Structure 1
Amino acid sequence: MDFAALYKSKLTTPEEAVKVVKSGDWVDYGWCTGTPNALDKALAARMDELENVNFRGGVLMRRPAIFDVPDVADKLTWNSWHMSGIERKACMEGFGFYSALRYSELPRWYRENVGRINVTMIQVAPMDAQGWFSFGPQASHLKAVCEASDVVIVEVNKYMPRCLGLYEEAIHVSEVDMIVENDEPMPQMGGGAAPTAVDEAVAKLIVEEIPNGACLQLGIGGMPNTVGAMIAESDLKDLGVHTEMYVDAFVDIAKAGKINGSKKAIDTGKQVFAFGAGTQKLYDYVNNNPECMSAPVSYTNDARTIAQIDNFISINNIVDVDLFGQMNAESAGIKQISGAGGQLDFVLGAYLSKGGKSFICCSSTFKKKDGTLESRIRPTLETGSVVTDARPCAHWFVTEYGKVNLKGLTAWQRAEALISVAHPDFREQLIKDAEKMRLWRRSNKR
């Protein structure tokens, strides 16, 4: 087969490609750095001809042009698998909604539950000599999306890194219906602000629990980033990576000579991830790097996969926790701010790992708009808040005031442990709340 000729026969303009979209269609916009750009702009230009178009995507790093069409809420709905700040604004504007699902379930859901997708538009890396387009740093669930689609349109971008993997990390030109070309630099996701004293205190408590040869999973946020920075400067060695999201911290740890994956029982020597986003440093590092393995999220986040890796260390953030040990990582009351993602999968998988530990961390307090402090450890979660990690699942919990192992504790022990790492200004009130809730024994330490 002449792949170059096949490519040429399917090449078209963004304006021509988006003509396949009809009113009432379901259109998949891929994921994170794979969200289309030229196709998005072309589709936005003809949205006045359409109505009730339903989009799926997640972790947006740029505001799509379709979000800015007139009367947007009458024209479309955006259905997010995991929300970024851009998508939170879409919810506030009345056309964005969160789709609740464990991230690991996405490939199966697309194959078994979605029915059909009318059109899929995704960014890919340039075609190789064998006719394959790499999905770049987001194998995630994209192969399953394409299989479920009536029409697949790829937007080829020379800046998209080519990420290697074992399966479902690419799509063949024979499986694509239309091709457009648009070279646009990759969106950048930096490490955020400099670490705070709280970030550093929490990170120190976690890093001292990590043994040589451990396998790491880091979530998104200042604290996991700070943990990564400390690991890069530590004496740890022979570390591995098996994570949902690949972030800049892993590049720093690898370049510091800490990562070789030699102790991993599976995927030995490989840094495995479902998707990635960061600075140009990350995109350059994963490009054609045989040490990095892009894999479907149904593999990376499966607790059964994670359980096969000894000394698995999972590190994630939450918004708040109540005295029952219910942990919320995705909402502020009824306001959805992120998503379930894979946190629960890694909490469960790390505990199943021989020597494994999951760490859920947060600052003990946060500052309200009026400048007052409020505890992240609450008697009960705020009305409407979502339970991301159910209380039987929690393992280690860490604030700047200490770390506690919650696994298997009875109700009064759990309340005592959580209060022991709360901000001192809130402990007495939390004890009173625990007493009212019958979670406090008279013999508990005060």
Structure 2
Amino acid sequence: MNYTTSNLMNKYQSKIITAERAAQLVKNGDKVSYGCFHTKPIAFDIALADRIASGEITKLDTSIVGTILPVPQVLLKMAEKNDTGDFRYNTSWYGPLERMLASKGVVSFAPMQFQDVIKTRTEPLWHESLRRDVAVIQCSPMDNFGNFNFGISNALTRRDMLNTPIRIVEVNTNFPVVHGGAEEHLNIDEIDYVIEGTNPEMFYMPHIDAIEEEIKIAENIIPLIKDGACLQLGIGGVPNAIGKLIAQSDLKDLGVHSEMFCDAFYDMYMSGKITNRKKRKDIGKSVFTFSLCTKETMEFMKNNPLMASYNGEYVTEYTNIKAEDNMFSINATLELDLLGQAVSETIGPVQYSGTGGALSFTWGSYESKGGTSVLCLPSTYRDKEGKLHSKITGTLSPGSVVTIPRSVVSTIATEYGVANIKGISLWARSESLINLAHPDFRDGLVKDAEKMGVWRKSNKIS
């Protein structure tokens, strides 16, 4: 490959296209991919939405792994025009925007683990819905070697683009360059068109302060973490509380192999707790596949050689998780029954989030040499009328989807304690789980357990 500046710039100039012209490449009935989270294009999205609004496009499928602000204009126009068109907005992860627009009949959820999101873009297609005709992503400007970096949204991006006939990048000068790893970029020779975008500011997560129950959960988990542990954390109050507690602790030589690089890791880096020295693979580097974070964390990741961005298959595949010694994963769940079944993606039959890497990390971390997997949840929630309900239930709410089966679940943490239910009988696990529930609901849960035949006279609640 000729890396001379003149040769690269000639190629670059020959592929420049306006957002409006790029949107014209989409035919009625096409399937368009927007990548994952931050790679969602901005200028192209507006131009394509205009075609829907004008009636030029009446049938369209778009696909993305997770949606962030700004709201995709294509999604809004699809919802607006759905009565007179045939539109689908496909995703394997529900966030606030998907939940808000789900009732419009446009958002379509595809249940799958994170590593399968990548596999569906590389294996022979077994269903027409998996086809993509145009892939458009937002990314960093071209570097001196002709590469466009995916920043903090590696996930499926490279394989998705390479397995799509028309490949378009929309460059944003504010898009961070984050080191791999692997599969963190595309080369000028691997794309068809370049849109020079409007350079909007990146989307940053607000600071999330942990509430009292989340702080207590974090305090219950911290004693389980040992020096040299390799961590996986998600988003929210509990991980942020974990990060602050670890930053103030005596723990040392921690590593990172995590689906998401979250703000808690930034806190740990700043306090010198993360070195990645004890890892079996990617020694000295923090492995992740995407990030949703504050501006401070994103600035820390930018051009940082301590980062290793990989695709989602590498990061979340069970055998790769298991291969690291002392893996310690912490994942949130929404509901847990007395049999130990964990619901992490629905509230009753209503889709709330997605499977992501939860099952893989729960299983892989437990199987890791010296590893631990923790599922955490506050013991209660309040409904719209302010009534208190238990998140630990006798049986799951009707229509709930089991994300992690009872045979895989191991350690559970609430604000009332921690219990490892792996390998113990239903009698023993019902007792352990009831003792993690809010005291106001324990007697009722005992009655549920008796009806289910998973409670003995010798069982007791604290």
Q: TM-score range by the shorter chain?
A: over 0.9
**Residues 199 and 223 of structure 1 are in contact (CA less than 8 Å); yes or no, is this contact kept in structure 2?**
yes
Q: Which amino acid aligns with 2:181?
A: L
Partner of 1:436: 451
Match of 2:21 among 16, 32, 40: 16
**Residues 58 and 84 of structure 1 are in contact (CA less than 8 Å); yes or no, is this contact kept in structure 2?**
no
Q: Return the offset for 1:265.
A: 1.2
Provide the rounded CA distance (Å) in 2 between the counterparts of 1:141 and 1:228.
28
Q: Return the offset for 1:72.
A: 3.8
Partner of 2:394: 379
- For the pair 1:30 / 2:46, whether they are aligned, the reply is no
**Residues 199 and 222 of structure 1 are in contact (CA less than 8 Å); yes or no, is this contact kept in structure 2?**
yes
Q: Return the offset for 1:113.
A: 4.4
Provide the rounded CA distance (Å) in 2 between the counterparts of 1:371 and 1:147.
50
Match of 2:205 among 182, 186, 189: 189
Residue pairs, 1:317-336, within 5 angstroms: 317-336=332-351
Match of 1:81 among 62, 73, 92: 92
Partner of 1:273: 288
- For the pair 1:127 / 2:138, whether they are aligned, the reply is no
Provide the rounded CA distance (Å) in 2 between the counterparts of 1:216 and 1:405.
18
Match of 2:59 among 44, 49, 52: 52
Q: Identify which range, 277-286 or 358-367, moves more after superposition.
A: 277-286
- For the pair 1:289 / 2:301, whether they are aligned, the reply is no
Q: Which amino acid aligns with 1:31?
A: C
Q: Secondary structure at the match of 2:116?
A: helix
Q: Secondary structure at the match of 2:373?
A: strand
Residue pairs, 1:44-123, within 5 angstroms: 44-47=49-52, 48-62=55-69, 63-69=71-77, 70-72=80-82, 74-114=85-125, 116-123=131-138
**Residues 191 and 222 of structure 1 are in contact (CA less than 8 Å); yes or no, is this contact kept in structure 2?**
no
Q: Identify which range, 321-330 or 306-315, moves more after superposition.
A: 306-315
Provide the rounded CA distance (Å) in 1 between the counterparts of 2:100 and 2:212.
30
Identity of aligned residues (%): 39
Residue pairs, 1:136-151, within 5 angstroms: 136-151=151-166
Provide the rounded CA distance (Å) in 2 between the counterparts of 1:222 and 1:278.
13
TM-superposition CA deviations, 1:90-132 (whole Å, max 9, x none): 2122111211010112221111144641000101111111111
Q: Which amino acid aligns with 1:270?
A: K
**Residues 99 and 351 of structure 2 are in contact (CA less than 8 Å); yes or no, is this contact kept in structure 1?**
yes
Match of 1:4 among 4, 9, 12: 9
Q: Return the offset for 1:372.
A: 1.1
Provide the rounded CA distance (Å) in 2 between the counterparts of 1:195 and 1:251.
16
Q: Identify which range, 421-430 or 230-239, moves more after superposition.
A: 230-239
**Residues 181 and 287 of structure 2 are in contact (CA less than 8 Å); yes or no, is this contact kept in structure 1?**
no
RMSD over aligned CA atoms reads: 1.2
Provide the rounded CA distance (Å) in 2 between the counterparts of 1:225 and 1:406.
25
Q: Return the offset for 1:179.
A: 0.5
> Unaligned stretches of 5+ in structure 1?
none
Q: Which amino acid aligns with 1:14?
A: A
**Residues 50 and 75 of structure 1 are in contact (CA less than 8 Å); yes or no, is this contact kept in structure 2?**
no
Q: Which amino acid aligns with 2:65?
A: G
Partner of 1:199: 214
**Residues 301 and 307 of structure 2 are in contact (CA less than 8 Å); yes or no, is this contact kept in structure 1?**
yes
Provide the rounded CA distance (Å) in 1 between the counterparts of 2:207 and 2:419.
27
- For the pair 1:229 / 2:244, whether they are aligned, the reply is yes
Q: Return the offset for 1:166.
A: 3.3
Q: Secondary structure at the match of 2:120?
A: helix
**Residues 324 and 369 of structure 2 are in contact (CA less than 8 Å); yes or no, is this contact kept in structure 1?**
yes
Q: Return the offset for 1:411.
A: 1.1
Q: Which amino acid aligns with 1:94?
A: G
Residue pairs, 1:172-183, within 5 angstroms: 172-182=187-197, 183=199
Count residues with an aligned counterpart.
445
- For the pair 1:260 / 2:289, whether they are aligned, the reply is no
**Residues 382 and 389 of structure 2 are in contact (CA less than 8 Å); yes or no, is this contact kept in structure 1?**
yes
Partner of 2:381: 366
Q: Return the offset for 1:379.
A: 0.7
Shift in CA distance, 28/204, structure 1 to aligned 2, threshold 3 Å: same
Q: Identify which range, 95-104 or 275-284, moves more after superposition.
A: 275-284
Q: Secondary structure at the match of 1:27?
A: strand
Provide the rounded CA distance (Å) in 1 between the counterparts of 2:293 and 2:445.
39
Q: Return the offset for 1:167.
A: 2.0
**Residues 327 and 391 of structure 1 are in contact (CA less than 8 Å); yes or no, is this contact kept in structure 2?**
yes
Q: Return the offset for 1:44.
A: 0.5
Q: Secondary structure at the match of 1:189?
A: coil
Q: Return the offset for 1:75.
A: 4.6
Q: Secondary structure at the match of 1:127?
A: coil
Q: TM-score, normalised by structure 1?
A: 0.98
Provide the rounded CA distance (Å) in 2 between the counterparts of 1:283 and 1:7.
27
Q: Secondary structure at the match of 2:224?
A: coil
Q: Which amino acid aligns with 1:25?
A: D
Q: Return the offset for 1:67.
A: 2.2
TM-superposition CA deviations, 1:322-358 (whole Å, max 9, x none): 0110000111111101000000000011011111101
Provide the rounded CA distance (Å) in 1 between the counterparts of 2:343 and 2:98.
19
Q: Return the offset for 1:191.
A: 3.4
Q: Secondary structure at the match of 2:289?
A: strand
Provide the rounded CA distance (Å) in 2 between the counterparts of 1:220 and 1:413.
31
